Structure 1
Amino acid sequence: MDFPRASLVSAVTPIEHLPRLSDELGISLHIKRDDLAGTTMGGNKSRQLEYYLGAAQQARAQTVLITGAVQSNFVRTAAASAAKLGMKTIVQLEDRVPLTDALYGANGNVLLSRLLGAEVMRYPVGEDEAGADAALRARAAEEEEAGRTPYVIPLALGNAPLGALGYMRAAEEILSQDDGFDVVVVASGSGLTHAGLLHGLRQAGHRARVIGSCVRRDAKQQHERMRQVRDALAKMTGTATIQNEDIIIWDGALAPGYGQLGPAAAQAMAMMAQTEGIILDPVYTAKVFAAVPALVARGDIRAGERVLFVHTGGLASLFAYQSALENAFPHPET
C-alpha cells in the first residue's frame, strides 16, 4: 500500500489463549492484545494514527487537530503520538455522553491529554460529525493565519478512511501469528477498525466470520455505515474485497447508549476480569467481549470454534467511570 506511514506500533502484539474462558464457553477463545499497541496506554487507535500522522508528516504539519467524545481514546492517543513526532495537538471534545460528574469531565483521557500538552477545545453537540469536523477546520484556519501548518484528522463519512489501513496491516499480522480462526470479534464504531480488518482478511483469502459489536449506533445504522466505509476503502485502495454478506453486526450490549455502562457490558467486564485477570473498558471492549458469550448461547458461535477477540485498549477511560463502576460493582457489606 503506497500510503505514508508513521511508525507508532513498533512490535507485534501478542495473541493469547484464554483457557478458563474457553472451558466455560465451550470454544477455543483467544485474545489479540492490541491494548498493548502504541504509546501511552496503547490501543487500536495507534494503528489508525500511523496513517493519519504519516500523511501529516508528508504535509510537514506542525499542528494536528482531532475530534472525539470527552473520554475519547483516539484524541488522547493522537496527543501522545503527535508529541512523540514533535507536533502540537489540538483536541476537540464533543458532548456525546450524558454523564456530568466531575470525574468524567476531568479525569482519564482528559487528564492525560492535558498532561501531553494538547490544547483542548469543546464542541457542544454529540451527534454532528460534519459540524465537529467543520469546527476543527475553522480552528485549523486560525493555525494557518498564525503561520503554522495544520493537519485535520476528520471524523465524518465522506473523508478518505486512512485509519482503516492500520487494520489491514493488523490482519496481515494476525494471519502471520495464527491463521486458524473461525470467528473474529471486534468493535464497530467509526467502522475503520472493523472494515480494515475485514478487508485485510478477505484480501488474503481468509474466510473467518468477522463480527462487529456496536459501541455507538444500533445494528441497522451500523450496517449502513459499514457499507459506506467499505465502499470508500475500496475506492481508496483500488481493491474491493468485502461483500454485503461479510458485514455481520451485533448490538446486544449497546444499551443504554454510547459511552454508558449497561448490564451486558458490566457482566462481560466481570467475566473477563474474574476468569482471566484481564481488564476491559466500559465504552468499547466490554461491549465487544459481551458478544462472545451471547453469541455462543444462541448458537451463532458454535461449540469448539476457534474465536479471536480483539482487545482494542481504552483502559485510561476507566478512571473517569468510577461512579458507573461503583454502581455496577458495589462494595460488599463487611
Structure 2
Amino acid sequence: MNPIRYERRRYTTGQTPIEKLERLSRELGGPVISIKRDDLTGLTAGGNKTRKLEYLVADAVRQGADTLITCGAVQSNHCRLTLAAAVREGLKCQLVLTEPEGGYDPQASGNHLLFHLLGAEKIEVIEADGDMHAAMDKLAHELASQGRKAYLIPVGGSNEVGSLGYMACAEEIEQQAWESGTPYDYVVTATGSGGTQAGLLAGFWARNSNTRVIGVNVSRDRQSQEAKVLELLGSTARTIGLKGEPSPDTVQCEDRYVGPGYAIPTAEMVEAVQLVARTEGILLDPVYTGKAMAGLIGLIREGRFAKEDQVLFLHTGGSPALYTAPQLFLP
C-alpha cells in the first residue's frame, strides 16, 4: 500500500457543505447550480489551499522541517493559509512575494495585513517577473547555515503532494452526491497553479466517476493551462499508483474570462460577484471565484449546459481580497 494518501494533517472538521443555489439558478434560467463551500475550510479565513496544505504540511513534519517557505502575489490566499498552517503546527514561515503593478505597499490591507497579523518571520519582496523559486532557495540556504531546516512549497501548493488535497475533495463530493442522491454532471472551478483541477480529475478518475471538471482560467491561455494541468494530473496519478495515462480530452479549461491578466478586474467578474451576493448572500472574490463564476454564467448563457444538468461550483475562497478593491463594488 502506498501510504502517501493517508499522511495528512486535519485542518477542517468534517465535510464542507454543498448548498443549492436556487435563486441564482432561477435568475440564469440555466442548469441546477450548487456550490461546494470550500471557503469554509479550516485555517484563517479558509479556502482551497487548506486542503493542499493538509498533505504538504504532513510531508514537512515527516521530514523534520521547522520552517515553511512559500511564494505568491502580495494578496496570495495560499501564502495566508500556509502561514496559518505554520502557526497551527508551531513552525516558522517565510514568504516570497512578487511586487504588484503600481509598486509594493507595505501598509496594504487584505491578505497582506494578515501576513503581519499571523506573524510571518520574514517577507521577501521581489520584482514581478523575478524568480520566486530561486528566492525561496536562497532563504532555505540561509536557514540551513543557521542549523534550521526549511520545507519549500511551490506557488499555490500545486505539486503532486498538494494535489492530493483535491483528490480527497473529489472523493468527498462523490460521497455527498451519494448521500443526497444528486450525482453531479460538472464541477466548475477556478484554475491557476493547476493543483485543484488536477486533484479533482485524479479523484474522479480513481472513483470511475463520470463527473466532468471545467477549469476557468485566472491567468494564462487555454492551451498553456490545459498542458499544465495535464502534466500535473499525470504526475499525481503516477505518485499514487493510478494505472494508465490521463487522456488530454479530460482536461477542459476556459480562457475567455481572464480579461487583461491575472488579478486584473473585468466587468464580467464584477457582475458575477454582485449577482451571487444579491441572490444567495455568498461572497466571492475578485481574483479567483469571481472570474470562475463569470465563466460559469457565460457558459450558461451560451447554452453549454442542459437545463436538467447538475452543476457544482467549487468556492475556493479568497474573500479578503474584496477589501483591497472597494471601488469595484461601491456605487
TM-score range, shorter chain: over 0.9
1:308-327 maps to which residues of 2 (within 5 A)? 308-322=312-326, 326=327
In structure 1, the partner of 2:169 is 170
Deviation at 1:156, TM superposition (A): 9.5
In structure 2, the partner of 1:187 is 190
1:1-334 maps to which residues of 2 (within 5 A)? 2-3=3-4, 4-25=7-28, 26-95=30-99, 97-100=100-103, 102=105, 106-127=108-129, 131-155=131-155, 160-179=159-178, 180-239=183-242, 240=244, 242-322=246-326, 326=327, 328-331=328-331
| Length-normalised TM-score, structure 1 | 0.91
Aligned residues: 322
* Counterpart Cα distance in 2 of 1:301 and 1:107: 39
1:55-92 per-residue CA deviation (whole Å, 9 max, x = no partner) reads 11001211110011110000110111110110000011
1:221-266 per-residue CA deviation (whole Å, 9 max, x = no partner) reads 1112112212221222221463211111112221121011111111
Deviation at 1:177, TM superposition (A): 0.6
Deviation at 1:199, TM superposition (A): 1.1
Identity %: 39
Deviation at 1:120, TM superposition (A): 3.6
Q: Structure 1's 264 and 13: CA in aligned 2 closer, same or farther, altered over 3 A?
A: same
State the secondary structure of the residue aligned to 1:64. strand
My pick for the range that moved more, 252-261 or 114-123, is 114-123
* Counterpart Cα distance in 1 of 2:281 and 2:176: 23
Which runs of 5 or more residues in structure 2 are unaligned? none
* Counterpart Cα distance in 1 of 2:233 and 2:207: 16
Contact 2:185–2:311, Cα closer than 8 Å, also in 1: yes
Q: Structure 1's 235 and 98: CA in aligned 2 closer, same or farther, altered over 3 A?
A: same
My pick for the range that moved more, 282-291 or 295-304, is 295-304
Contact 1:93–1:120, Cα closer than 8 Å, also in 2: no
* Counterpart Cα distance in 1 of 2:256 and 2:189: 14
Deviation at 1:185, TM superposition (A): 0.1
State the secondary structure of the residue aligned to 1:216. coil
| Length-normalised TM-score, structure 2 | 0.92
* Counterpart Cα distance in 1 of 2:315 and 2:64: 33
Q: Structure 1's 187 and 241: CA in aligned 2 closer, same or farther, altered over 3 A?
A: farther
Contact 1:133–1:156, Cα closer than 8 Å, also in 2: no
Which runs of 5 or more residues in structure 1 are unaligned? none
Deviation at 1:102, TM superposition (A): 4.6
* Counterpart Cα distance in 2 of 1:12 and 1:99: 40
Contact 2:72–2:156, Cα closer than 8 Å, also in 1: no
1:23-72 per-residue CA deviation (whole Å, 9 max, x = no partner) reads 12221110000000011100000000111100110012111100111100
The RMSD of aligned alpha carbons is 1.9
Deviation at 1:299, TM superposition (A): 1.7
* Counterpart Cα distance in 2 of 1:247 and 1:315: 27
Instruction: Read off the aligned partner of 1:57 and give its amino acid letter.
Output: V
Instruction: Read off the aligned partner of 1:75 and give its amino acid letter.
Output: C
State the secondary structure of the residue aligned to 2:81. helix
State the secondary structure of the residue aligned to 2:256. coil
Q: Structure 1's 14 and 160: CA in aligned 2 closer, same or farther, altered over 3 A?
A: closer
Deviation at 1:298, TM superposition (A): 1.4
* Counterpart Cα distance in 1 of 2:301 and 2:156: 35
* Counterpart Cα distance in 2 of 1:275 and 1:72: 27
Instruction: Read off the aligned partner of 1:117 and give its amino acid letter.
Output: G
